[in-house]
């Protein structure tokens, strides 16, 4: 069946009358013919007696001839729009200056040598480097360009052996989550013959003697932990953990990773139940006793735990961060075999949520969020306060990274107006030394970042960051770009993004509201946006938009919004629930069909956040907000660009494929509805810098153009 009919619309009662033969008018004088015609082939599913139609089910098949023809037509249509956009050439040049710059990752230290990821200005991908001493020159160890001619091949540093002689690294193609794992000899610079096949690796660690690897790998059936002996075939790897533990099944949503304690004695496994985990179990194996069983640190408690082992052998101690009886988090000293109720409290729950903790140089570093602003406190291992790590500006501070026995730790600071700067911290003296700072043509002193608070629909007070040039007008005439997420217990703190920096440099405002669903104020903040309470996220978002409009930062005509993944779901809700508030929407890698999302790729893992339409109670609230099921024919929708691609192996691109023709046929506004579908990009990034520049240019061109003057319809 031929389902793509070029650029002429099929005269069908399935399409909205307002969309028939309607020419499309974008900003800056851009005109388009009607969107590519896509045949609606209705099917219906029965959910507890409710018949739910789906006209574009056939687009779920990514490989069919009809779907590929659909993608070709939609990409050609999007290209036709972008070719008319006059700002794009200059935007590409601007982004080249902001993105083709040197970047570094946080280093791993082994015996005075530093291992890290680094990308030089002008390079397309980062390489793995070693710095043999603090003042030595950087030496390239692994160059992705030597592995493949494909510029979208990237590498990631997985681990360095305890003695610093071997390095494990991952190789990724495009933006897929899956990688292969390889091992390099640091002395010779050569990669060994060992290669673990492509998969979703949750952890890769060297064995204490450096003769093998522990790795946890997931698929749709669940996660398994293996041991690989270097020099042997992966097919002979030994299964260490998985399938079940002490009679309890470990299923598809029971995800775990492993780590080796700094003294090399224990292999520690943390099992998270769902995404985000509602329950985390921790077990460990004594590696000095070959074949010994895994012992329990904590098991079967519906709370989250993360552990760090300090000290050597049996005399070592376990420190655990948990929300058990402490929704904002606390740090306990754990005793295996004894319930957490009687573990010793080292850092009690306070007024602000604990985001993470680390132990470096025998000191405890606890990172909290105080009204979503990073605050790092320092303690002795018995809980005595030793001060704080302070910064003068609003921004995000990473956790302190390093081993428990290392004198030096590393951390980064960044914000929307401050590129990431990496520091080395002397845990003995508190002195900070600069490790790396990119040179970017962006003068932070010309911009300001502030925080405001507003009330949501139910009266809850919500914080929001706003950035802009100093002295920028507040008369409702300026463009504003707002992004958000609101889910999965993830805190959204100010971070550097070249695309946001470009928007600010052009005189636009930028805003990030801290919606419920994250962990900005602890688990309660997250729970207020789970399951049937998901609408709170959308109400927070609309209240943020109304605040910005009421306070003259912008107006609906100049209002752009962007979000991806769970944030793409947020964009879908904004399109379908409040199309009047926004002029342009960039909806990236989105979840949109909330009745079927759990059937594809990693979707089953997210049922602990959203619920599933296979449950009668959950079906009805999912249907109420599912963007794909709430598009109404004849509605004046804003300009929309859906952005996804074949390499997204996390959120199935079918969501954007199905939503595009549905929205195109329903909208009566005459504004563009576009699908930007990449053959290489995906959820995990990893594409070449030039490809990233082109993608960012396409997105920003659309958002900037569609928030200026919109041509009147003929």
Active site residues: 565, 683
φ and ψ at 651, to 5 degrees?
Answer: -100, 120
Q: In 3D, which of 437, 483, 633, 466 has the Cα closest to residue 551?
A: 466
Q: In 3D, which of 514, 475, 511 has the Cα closest to residue 493?
A: 514
CB atoms within 10 A of CB 341: 8
For residues 350 and 604, give the distance between their C-alpha atoms in angstroms, rounded to a whole number: 35
The tokens for 194 are: 């060992």
For residues 216 and 269, give the distance between their C-alpha atoms in angstroms, rounded to a whole number: 9
Secondary structure of 649-709 in HEC code, one letter for each residue: CCCCCHHHHHHHHHHHHHECCCCCEEEEEECCCCCCCCCCHHHHHHHHHHHHHHHHHCCCC
Q: Would you say 116 and 142 are in contact if contact means Cβ atoms under 8 Å apart?
A: no
Which residue's entry shows tokens 């910005």?
A: 548
Q: Would you say 359 and 344 are in contact if contact means Cβ atoms under 8 Å apart?
A: no
Would you call 26 exposed, middle or buried from its count of C-beta atoms within 10 A (0-12, 13-18, 19+)?
buried
| Dihedral angle computed from the Cα positions of residues 572, 577, 579 and 585, in that order, rounded to the nearest 10 degrees | -20
Q: Which residues contact 585 (CB under 8 A, 6 or more apart)?
A: 560, 561, 562, 571, 574, 575, 638, 639, 640, 641
Q: What share of the chain is helix, strand, coil (3-state, %, to 5)?
A: 20, 35, 40
516: helix, coil or strand?
strand
Q: Would you say 511 and 548 are in contact if contact means Cβ atoms under 8 Å apart?
A: yes
For residues 290 and 287, give the distance between their C-alpha atoms in angstroms, rounded to a whole number: 6
| Residue 104, strand partner residues | 118
358: helix, coil or strand?
strand
For residues 69 and 615, give the distance between their C-alpha atoms in angstroms, rounded to a whole number: 36
Peptide bond into 576 cis (omega under 30): no
Count Cβ neighbours within 10 Å for each residue of 367-402 and write b for 16 or more, e otherwise.
bbbeebbbbbbbbebeeeeeeebebeebbbbbbbbb
The tokens for 690 are: 């030039």
For residues 491 and 713, give the distance between their C-alpha atoms in angstroms, rounded to a whole number: 42
| Dihedral angle computed from the Cα positions of residues 492, 659, 656 and 618, in that order, rounded to the nearest 10 degrees | 60
541: helix, coil or strand?
helix
CB atoms within 10 A of CB 460: 16
Which residue's entry shows tokens 């660690």?
A: 205
- First vs last Cα of the chain: how many Å apart? 35
Q: Would you say 448 and 395 are in contact if contact means Cβ atoms under 8 Å apart?
A: no
């Amino acid at each position: 069946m031929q389902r793509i009919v070029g650029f002429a619309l099929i005269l069908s009662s399935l399409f909205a009358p307002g969309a028939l033969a309607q020419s499309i008018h974008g900003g800056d004088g851009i005109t388009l013919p009607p969107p590519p015609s896509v045949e609606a082939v209705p099917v219906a599913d029965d959910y507890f007696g409710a018949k739910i139609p789906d006209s574009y089910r056939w687009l779920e098949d990514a490989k069919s001839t009809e779907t590929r023809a659909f993608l070709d037509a939609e990409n050609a249509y999007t290209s036709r729009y972008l070719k008319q956009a006059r700002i794009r050439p200059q935007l590409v040049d601007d982004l080249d200056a902001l993105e083709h710059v040197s970047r570094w990752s946080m280093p791993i230290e082994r015996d005075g040598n530093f291992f890290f990821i680094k990308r030089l200005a002008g390079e397309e991908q980062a390489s793995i480097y070693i710095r043999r001493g603090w003042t030595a020159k950087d030496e390239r160890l692994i160059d992705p360009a030597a592995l493949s001619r494909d510029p979208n091949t990237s590498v990631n540093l997985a681990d360095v052996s305890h003695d610093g002689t071997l390095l494990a690294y991952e190789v990724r193609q495009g933006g897929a989550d899956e990688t292969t794992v390889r091992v390099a000899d640091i002395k010779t610079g050569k990669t060994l013959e060992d290669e673990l096949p492509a998969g979703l690796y949750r952890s890769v660690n060297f064995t204490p003697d450096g003769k093998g690897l522990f790795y946890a790998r997931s698929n749709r059936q669940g996660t398994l932990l293996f041991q690989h002996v270097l020099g042997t075939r992966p097919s002979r790897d030994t299964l260490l953990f998985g399938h079940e533990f002490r009679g309890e099944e470990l299923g598809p949503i029971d995800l775990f990773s492993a780590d080796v304690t700094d003294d090399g004695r224990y292999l520690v496994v943390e099992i998270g139940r769902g995404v985000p985990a509602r329950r985390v179990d921790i077990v460990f194996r004594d590696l000095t006793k070959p074949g010994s069983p895994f012992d329990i640190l904590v098991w079967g408690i519906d709370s989250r735990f993360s552990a760090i082992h300090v000290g050597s052998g049996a005399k070592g101690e376990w420190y655990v961060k948990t929300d058990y009886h402490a929704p904002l988090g606390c740090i306990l000293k754990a005793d295996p075999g004894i319930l957490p109720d009687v573990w010793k409290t080292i850092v009690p729950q306070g007024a602000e949520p604990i985001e993470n903790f680390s132990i470096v140089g025998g000191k405890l570093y606890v990172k909290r969020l105080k009204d979503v602003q990073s605050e790092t406190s320092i303690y002795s291992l018995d809980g005595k306060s030793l001060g704080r790590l302070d910064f003068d500006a609003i921004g995000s501070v990473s956790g302190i990274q390093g081993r428990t026995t290392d004198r030096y730790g590393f951390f980064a600071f960044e914000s929307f107006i401050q590129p990431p700067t990496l520091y080395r911290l002397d845990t003995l003296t508190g002195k900070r030394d600069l490790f790396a700072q990119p040179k970017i043509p962006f003068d932070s002193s010309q911009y300001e970042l502030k925080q405001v608070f507003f009330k949501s629909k139910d009266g809850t007070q919500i914080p929001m960051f706003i950035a802009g040039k100093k002295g920028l007008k507040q008369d409702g005439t300026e463009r504003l770009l707002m992004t958000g997420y609101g889910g999965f217990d993830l805190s959204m703190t100010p971070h550097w993004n070249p695309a946001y920096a470009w928007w600010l440099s052009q005189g636009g405002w930028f805003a990030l509201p801290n919606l419920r669903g994250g962990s900005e104020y602890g688990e309660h903040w997250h729970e207020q946006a789970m399951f049937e309470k998901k609408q709170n996220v959308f109400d927070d978002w609309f209240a943020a938009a109304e605040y910005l409009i009421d306070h003259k930062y912008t107006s609906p005509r100049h209002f752009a919004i962007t979000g991806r993944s769970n944030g793409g779901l947020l964009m879908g809700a904004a399109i379908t629930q409040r199309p009047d508030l926004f002029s342009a929407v960039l909806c990236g890698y989105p979840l949109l069909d909330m009745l079927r999302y759990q059937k594809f790729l990693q979707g089953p893992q997210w049922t602990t956040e959203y619920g599933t339409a296979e449950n009668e109670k959950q079906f009805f609230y999912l249907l109420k907000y599912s963007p794909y099921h709430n598009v109404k024919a004849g509605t004046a929708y804003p300009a929309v660009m859906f952005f996804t691609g074949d390499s997204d192996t996390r959120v199935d691109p079918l969501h954007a494929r199905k939503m595009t023709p549905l929205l195109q046929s329903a909208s009566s506004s005459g504004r563009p509805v576009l699908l930007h579908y990449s053959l290489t990009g995906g959820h995990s990034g990893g594409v070449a810098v030039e490809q990233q520049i082109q993608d960012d240019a396409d997105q920003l061109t659309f958002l900037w153009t569609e928030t200026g003057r919109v041509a009147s319809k003929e």
